[in-house]
């Protein structure tokens, strides 16, 4: 199974690379597979490559779901520890 994560472009380093924010972690990625990306755009990132641009609303909804899943997982861990 592969997991691609939405990330926001924070800085363009060159025509083919950028710095993105992945949940607070800044990471350099390749833009070789996408065109016309600007700062503030969301892209789907898999193993260091932006695969495609993503609608900002869809990206924010996906990130919110990931956040909810993480909180649920944390809460379930606390319950089993008690």
Number of domains comprising the chain:
1
- What range does the domain containing 44 cover? 5-81
Q: pTM for this structure? A: 0.78
Rounded CA separation 32/41 (Å): 15
Q: Residue 56: in which H helix or E strand, if any?
A: helix 56-81
pLDDT tens per residue across span 1-51: 567 889 999 999 999 999 999 878 999 999 999 999 999 999 999 999 999
- Shortest CA distance to 7 belongs to which of 43, 35, 32, 31? 43
Where residue 68 sits, what CATH number does that domain have? 2.30.30.140
């Amino acid at each position: 199974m592969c997991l691609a994560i939405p990330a926001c472009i924070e800085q363009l380093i060159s025509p083919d690379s950028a710095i993105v924010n992945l949940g607070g972690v800044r990471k350099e990625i390749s833009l070789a597979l996408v065109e016309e990306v600007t700062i503030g755009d969301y892209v789907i990132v898999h193993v260091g490559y932006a695969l495609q641009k993503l609608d900002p609303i869809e990206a924010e909804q996906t990130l919110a779901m990931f956040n909810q899943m993480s909180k649920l997982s944390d809460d379930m861990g606390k319950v089993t520890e008690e």
